[in-house]
Structure 1
């Protein structure tokens, strides 16, 4: 995409940009679609470019395998597995020719309109930030597939058809809650591996991470986040280190560098524009910050295509190793 920056898309413009296919179901902020191999055609055209999607989404792989990048972290999906996408994350899917892929995505306002508990959904999805890839049992996939098929078969209701509208909304609610049940089962398995109750410091860590996701592009000061949590910067740093093995500033830097890498790799913004977008006072300060954390200048990283991404940043590595972010 030759865009000035990585765009955030709602579902309908994304679908229109990529081109609708027969069988694509879109209704009022909900997209349910499949991409199945038909000869030499690459199945996943919908996310062939990196895109930031303003929706909760689940990518299912029912056959074959796909490689998926979410915020520069690579995940490999095999048969009967699915990936949970949080709103605002950058998604890029690379599929193999034999893959069969299904995507179910809902915008937050649509979820509210059909009376699904958005707090329940958000809390459940956020718990999967460190473990967004799930493996399904065959029977579990068949249950999800039936719901997807029922929605697609019903089709988009005609204007004024109140009965069909309620049938569709009810069917989508059922699908959402089925996925929530699968996610909850997965979380229960994770808790069994780490059965001790979450401590108060872990609660603070989760609150800190929520704030960080909201403000990292503008705020890099530990003091800002400590003030939001009514803690001193020193105490917040101690809590985060005890919980994850890394300091608060490590986590802040991790998020800022990740966004900088996304912009350098996927956007056509100049380095100066990226610096200002990330709230650096000038390009020189941004360049020093980036090199200090990656070993490369922004220009070298962009020219090299991000070859230095093989080893994740310390805080990212910690997130992927343990349910609680510990080493």
Structure 2
């Protein structure tokens, strides 16, 4: 009989670090030991989240997309919603700290550069979701995750969500730095795979053109690919489509302009190459749940 595959979200996690609050339904940090592994993560599961798992002690074996990986102290795993995983062996002294970030919360990060970084490393982390850290990098990652967890508990902070987002942003920047220093290119090893080359080219095109070009066909034609094939690659690597990323960049930039610029809503719609202010308003309301004017008033 084929094993049942579960799809879970952050709300289904048992909180074992910090205080339970509504924010932990969107972003959560938990510590998992030997018993927790078998109680929560012993059957195949997809999580609708980006998961960072830092092993603190002991050893375990984990299946990720039907491939077995041994993990131990100082191992860092980065899993997307496209990774099917479960633990199947675990030592009694096994312990890890896990950061779960929902896609909705990731989308609240205002920086388009953060989206750029996430796509940039997505293909590498999808194919090789495990990194072995030296003691210094382990301590950096652990410090950042602990800071996020403390920020989630600090519900009385006047800028509560902003503090969490800033700590999360710092964690991902440090993660990007670790990945960059451990990439084959930085060590003078090998050449990028075809997927890595395509994703790299797509990122560069997206960063340069997302304000003016909103259609998948443009990016596919520039890469001499079909729109279907480009979408397939990006979807397989990140769990999102090319259109998702184009709209995510536009939404992030529109929030930045509404918050930090003096441009009128009409001018913003023009800068972002919408056909008119009404089209921009409909796009923004679908993403934010409120109009651009109401969003600006709340800031």
Q: Could you say which residue in structure 2 is the equivalent of 1:67? A: 61
Cross-structure match for 2:126:
129
* CA 67–23 in structure 1, closer or farther in 2 if over 3 Å, else same: farther
Find the residue that maps to 2:159 and give its secondary structure.
helix
In structure 1, stretches of 5+ residues that fail to align are 209-225, 237-251, 256-327
Could you tell me which residue of structure 2 aligns to residue 245 of structure 1?
none
TM-score if structure 1 supplies the norm length? 0.53
Structure 2 gaps of 5+ residues are 203-219, 237-299
| Alpha-carbon distance, 1:44 to partner | 5.6
CA contact (8 A) 1:124 1:184 kept: no
Distance 2:142 2:52 in 1: 13
Report deviation, 1:171.
1.5
Q: What CA distance in whole angstroms lies between the structure 2 residues aligned with 1:147 and 1:201?
A: 30
Conserved in 2, the CA contact under 8 Å of 1:61 and 1:80? yes
Q: 1:167-316 alignment to 2 at 5 Å?
A: 167-188=163-184, 192-194=188-190, 196=191, 203=197
Distance apart, 1:149 and its partner CA: 2.0
Give the SS at the match of 1:75: strand
Q: Which residue of 2 aligns with 1:105?
A: 100
Contact 1:35–1:44 (CA<8 Å) still a contact in 2? Answer: no
Please name the residue that 1:165 is paired with. 161
2:77 to 56, 62, 83: 83
Q: Secondary structure at the match of 1:61?
A: strand
Give 1:66 deviation, angstroms. Answer: 1.4
Alpha-carbon deviation of 1:151? Answer: 2.6
- Aligned residues, how many? 208
Residues in 2 aligned to 1:200 and 1:77: alpha-carbon distance in whole angstroms: 28
RMSD, aligned CA: 3.9
After TM superposition, the score normalised by the length of structure 2 is 0.57
Contact 2:55/2:95, CA 8 A, preserved across alignment: yes
Partner of 1:149: 146
Q: 1:192 to 1:36 in 2, by over 3 A?
A: same
8 Å Cα contact 1:24/1:33 also seen in 2: no
Secondary structure (helix, strand or coil) at the match of 2:87 reads: strand
- Whether the 8 Å contact between 1:67 and 1:74 is mirrored in structure 2 is yes
